[in-house]
Amino acid sequence: MPIHWVLGRLDRMWANYRPGIIVALIAIPLVIVVAVWVTRRRRSAGWPAAWAARSAWAEAIMIIGTVPGLVLTLTPTDTANGVNLVPFHDLAILVHIGWQHAALQIVGNLLVLAPLGFGLPMRWRIGPFAVLLVGACASTAIETLQWVFQLGRFSSVDDVFLNAIGALIGALLALPWWRSRIDRLTVTAPPGESADETVHAAAGDNSGAGGAETARSVP
C-alpha cells in the first residue's frame, strides 16, 4: 500500500473529522477524571461500591462516545443542504456508488449513537426497545437541527434508521452489565446461597441485609 495513499487518507480524515477528534481529545481525560470523582462521591454517600463505579463509568461512556459525534454532525459545511424522507433510498445510492463507500458511511452512522445505547441500560433500568426509541428520537432531533439551521448537511430518514440500530447494537453489547440484570442478581440467590450473600457479591456491598435495600434503592 503506497505511503502517499495512506497519508492522503489520513489527511482527508483529519479534514472531515477534525471537530470531533479535537472534542474527543479534550473530553476523554476530563470525563475520566470526573468519573473517578463521581465514583468516590457516590461511595461516600452510601452507594454500593460496585454500583457507584458502574453508574459513573456508564455515564462517562455515554458522554465520551456521544458528544464528539454530535459536534461532528452539527458542524456546518460548505455543501448544500438536502433531505430524504424515502426509507432506504440513500442506502441504495451508497451501495450503487461502491461497497467501500457504503460500508464507511453505514459503519459511521451506526457508531454515532452506539456509545449512548451502550451506557443507557447500564445506568438505568431500561430494555432494548427503550434504547431503540431513544436512539430514534435523538437521531431525529439531530437530522432536524441539521435541516432547520441549514448546516450544509443531508438530513435523511436512513440516517435515523442506522443511528437507532447503532444504539440498539450498543445496548446488546452491554448486555452482561445491564442494570436490570444486575438488580435481578441482588434479589435472586442461587442454590445454597442466601439472598444477602448474593447482594453482597453482586453489588459489592459489605453491609448485609441493609446492603440489599441500598442496592435496590440507589438512583
Mean pLDDT of the chain: 83
Q: Report how far residue 119's alpha carbon sits from residue 201's, in angstroms, rounded to the nearest whole number.
A: 22
Are 42 and 60 in contact by the 8 Å Cβ rule? The answer is no
Question: What letter does residue 207 receive in the DSSP assignment?
Answer: S
Neighbours of 81 (CB within 10 A): 15
The more confidently predicted of residues 211 and 163 is 163
Query: What's the DSSP call for residue 208?
Result: T
For residue 25, name the pLDDT band (cuts at 50, 70, 90).
confident
% of the chain with per-residue pLDDT over 70: 77
Q: Look at residue 39 and tell me whether its pLDDT is greater than 50.
A: yes
Lowest-pLDDT choice from 2-11, 23-32, 50-59, 164-173: 2-11
- pLDDT band with cut points at 50, 70 and 90 for residue 18: confident
Domain ranges of the chain: 1-75
Of the candidates 116, 171, 164, 129, which has an alpha carbon nearest to the alpha carbon of residue 143? 164
More confident residue, 185 or 104: 104
Q: Which of 12-16, 33-37, 91-95, 177-181 has the lowest mean pLDDT?
A: 12-16
CA–CA gap between residue 67 and residue 31 (Å, rounded): 11
pLDDT in tens, 131-157: 999 999 999 999 999 999 999 899 999
Say how many C-beta atoms besides its own lie within 10 A of residue 72's C-beta. 18
Global pTM reads 0.79
Tens of pLDDT, residue by residue over 173-208, are 999 999 988 877 665 544 454 444 444 444 444 444
Q: What is the mean pLDDT of residues 8-27?
A: 72
pLDDT at 6 over 90: no
| pLDDT value, residue 180 | 85
- Tell me the three cell numbers of residue 20: 470531533
